[in-house]
A and B are shown apart, each in its own frame.
Chain A
Amino acid sequence: MNRRAGLRVAVLLAPALLVVVGLFGAGLGLGLLQSLGYQPYLEGWSWTTAAYTGLIDDRAVRASLVLTLRTSVLATAGAAILGLAVAMLVHSSRRGRRLLTAVLQVGLPVPHLVGALSMSLMLSQSGLLSRLTYAIGLTTSPSDFPALTEDRFGWAMLAEYLWKETPFVAVVALTALARGVAPLQDVAATLGASPWQRFRYVVLPLVTPAVGAASVVVLAFTFGSYEVPAVLGRPYPAPLSVVAYQRFTDTDLTVRPQAFALGVVLAVAVTALVAVYLRLLDRLGATR
């Protein structure tokens, strides 16, 4: 590749890069500044790491960390496994594959907020399901129905993430499967490979990069997602994003650096998680 072509690529990419690096990088940098106490609208502000050290023994943050990690990891693993299973099912069905693929794609453009509201209408103690169990005499009052929204575990949140992200992973996996996995499987079968062996040594290595990339997106998203826990979760314990927003909207302006500190922590944690996840995937793909 010659120099001019390289320059051309750089020039063509510049507007996009400028937006990404400018908006994102500068935003992150300014967030960092504010997390360190930069509050020019307050008299007597000073540089301090108090916002960060305060997070360590903040009960809301500790509880939040556990909840955030648990929900996002479960949602990611669940969506990856279910998505792959669905993709293989659709791929192996000779008839109706196109229709099934289309059905999978229907949910993709639906915003998470809409998904969360739907889950709330369906799963809350006075929701559709609860009314159904009441109508057929299984429950006699809303509180008889199990608490799936605003619950300690976060069932409705998990359900929303799985409902939304499973088709996403499945569609990505289907694309990978479509690149000639069938002949390879046939070859393996004629060589005497069992169904499990065919899955483990033929299908899995083929789809791992695609499913891995998709689940990185899912992990990063669910870790930082705000609207889903805001609708379906509790005010305490709440995921980091919700806690950050609670601090950002605190009427006491001196609390604000904590919100930005949480934002920075969130960004660092997501980056670290993604790195660990990719490392794990590499290992999975490498052992043949």
Chain B
Amino acid sequence: MSVRLYGPALLAAALVLLSACSAASTGAPATQSASVPATAQGAASDGPDPSRWSDVLAEAKGQTVNWYMWGGDEGLNDYVNDWVSPKAAELGVTVRQVRIADTVDAVNKILGETQAGRTSDGSVDLVWVNGENFATGRQADLWACGWPSRLPSARYVDLADPAIANDFGRPVEDCEAAWNTTTSALVYDAARLDAADVVSLAAFQQWVQAHPGRFTYPAAPDFTGSMVVRTFAYDEAGGYQRLQGPFDQARYDALAPRLWGRLNELGPSLWREGDTYPASQDAVAKLFADGEIDAYFTYGVGGLGTQVQQGRLPATTRTAVFSGGSIGNANFLAIPRNSPNAAGAMVLADLLQSPAAQYEKKVNPPGYDPAIDTTKAGDFAARFAAIPVPAAELPASVLAEAVVPEMQAGWVTRLEKDWVSEVQQR
């Protein structure tokens, strides 16, 4: 009984215990150097060399890859287990999908193990990651670098595209391989909102204020909630261009009071009168499915058509992007430095980047947008072009036209922190 008394504290403490204990006993802390600058250094790191691909394939045979990924999307989980796993098995690689609630859990695990001196036999081999979690891993030098650009499938990826070469404004520096791209959009019920209500953020805001209680967004620092705050920030600043580059205090000070004023003014018109915000994007999507709200922002509209078909969402579900104002990003696959199955992880990453895998992921339930340049995809180029678009979703060309880049992590963290104190805690 005494074990349950201190639940979270004990959990946290136990984790620490596992990590720090053996670090102390080995005497040599695993990582002292926090930042390894560039690609060159990473490329020289030990581990398999993807430019000798046949060696990597041979080494990968028989390896089991522990792939840590956010497991909240059933469609994607099915894709991993029903499509990816058998294909990987043909190459002799066993995929063990480890579903986590938040990517930070994987980063914490790698960090703990590295700290404990497990520098070559970690339990994480591949992580689905981007943004702040990637940055955190870089901060503590957890990722293996120099491999993504040398994968055979890298030839399908436009590595010079700023959306692929940067992760939330932070240069990728060849430390993670692109897996998906995603564009944010507003999902709404066309039975409740007209097309005119969703032409711009200002028009939508007017609709929200005229229909109190029918819109909300997750509390930042939730991944999507943070995006909604940034969407308002871009709009308030007069365009995304104004908030690019490293964090700038003067520009921020000019923007912040107006932004928080606007969001606080919106508050009383939100679900529960803005007295509280849902804790996660899952909760927001559920509110929409349950008919408690009529619109919500999301990353990646793929899969909405399937959900409408399954009767989980109203048949009148539609999506909209605001011209020049839909934040988009890429998400990636990273291999921890201490992965004992790096070769297998590379083979899996290469498979995931292949046109066949990217096509399957787009057309079947997950509906995730490809990270590859589909025009370079050989036989698949035409097939990508011919993918039908369900009424609830938007064609890739429309999304591509509306997409604007993320701002750098410095801005993101500051906006999240201040949203909490200026909006949530008011």
Contact = CB atoms under 8 A, between A and B. Distances in A.
Interface of A: 20, 23-24, 26-28, 30-31, 33-34, 40-43, 59-60, 63, 125-126, 142-143, 147, 150-152, 217, 220-221, 224-227, 230, 234-236, 241, 244-245, 248-253, 259-260, 263-264, 266-267, 270
Given A150-B278, A217-B1, A248 B221 contact: no
Interface string B259-302: 00000000000011001111100000001001110000000000
A147 B272 CA distance: 8
Contacts of A150: 272, 276, 278-279
Contact of B115 (A40, A125, A230): A40
Q: Which 9 A-B pairs have the closest CB atoms?
A: A27-B13, A251-B132, A126-B290, A263-B9, A43-B34, A31-B13, A235-B219, A220-B5, A30-B16
Interface in B139-180: 139-140
Most chain-A Cβ atoms within 10 A of its Cβ — which of B108, B131, B271, B292? B292
A7 to B, nearest CB: 25
Nearest to A231: B279
Range class of the B interface residue count: 35 or more
Interface in B1-43: 1-2, 4-10, 12-14, 16-17, 20-21, 23, 29, 31-35
B115 A224 contact: no
Interface of B: 1-2, 4-10, 12-14, 16-17, 20-21, 23, 29, 31-35, 102, 104-105, 108, 111, 114-115, 131-133, 135-136, 139-140, 213, 219, 221, 271-272, 275-279, 287, 290-292, 413, 420-421, 424-425
Nearest to B225: A235
Given A27-B14, A60-B420, A143 B213 contact: yes
A42 B31 CA distance: 9
A20 B2 contact: yes
A280 B14 CA distance: 33
Contacts of B115: 40-41
B140 A253 contact: yes
A30 B17 contact: yes
B337 to A, nearest CB: 13
A241 B14 CA distance: 15
Nearest to B412: A251
Contacts of B275: 152
A270 B6 contact: yes
Contact of A266 (B9, B16, B139): B9
Contacts of A43: 32-35
B10 A24 contact: yes
B221 A250 contact: yes
Contacts of A224: 5-9
B279 A235 contact: yes
Contact of B104 (A31, A59, A249): A249
Contact of A41 (B4, B140, B271, B272): B140
A59 B8 contact: no
A234 B218 CA distance: 11
A17 to B, nearest CB: 12
B99 to A, nearest CB: 16
Given A226-B8, A270-B5, 11 more contacts: A24-B10, A26-B17, A34-B20, A40-B115, A126-B291, A152-B275, A152-B276, A235-B424, A241-B7, A244-B12, A263-B13
Contact of A245 (B8, B133, B420): B8
Chain A contact surface mostly:
helix
B333 to A, nearest CB: 18
A125 B292 contact: yes
A248 B105 CA distance: 10
Given A150-B278, A234-B276, A42 B12 contact: no
Nearest to A30: B16
B125 to A, nearest CB: 20
Contact of A244 (B2, B9, B14, B420): B9
B217 to A, nearest CB: 12
Contact of A236 (B105, B413, B424): B424
B230 to A, nearest CB: 15
B124 to A, nearest CB: 15
B169 to A, nearest CB: 14
A220 B10 CA distance: 13
B260 to A, nearest CB: 15
A236 B276 contact: yes
A31 B16 contact: yes
A221 B424 contact: no
A164 to B, nearest CB: 12
Nearest to A31: B13
A251 B10 contact: no
Contact of A59 (B277, B290, B421): B421
Nearest to B213: A143
A253 B107 CA distance: 11
A277 B287 CA distance: 41
A39 to B, nearest CB: 9
A174 B117 CA distance: 52
B135 A251 contact: yes
Contacts of B272: 147, 150
A221 B8 CA distance: 11
A2 B337 CA distance: 57
Contacts of A252: 132, 136, 413
A221 B34 contact: no
A33 B23 CA distance: 14
Contact of B9 (A23, A31, A251): A31
5 contacts: A24-B6, A33-B20, A230-B279, A235-B279, A266-B6
Contacts of A264: 9
B279 A234 contact: yes
A34 B16 contact: yes
B221 A251 contact: yes
A125 B140 CA distance: 43
Nearest to A254: B139
Given A244-B12, A249-B102, A250-B221, A42 B5 contact: no
B12 A259 contact: yes
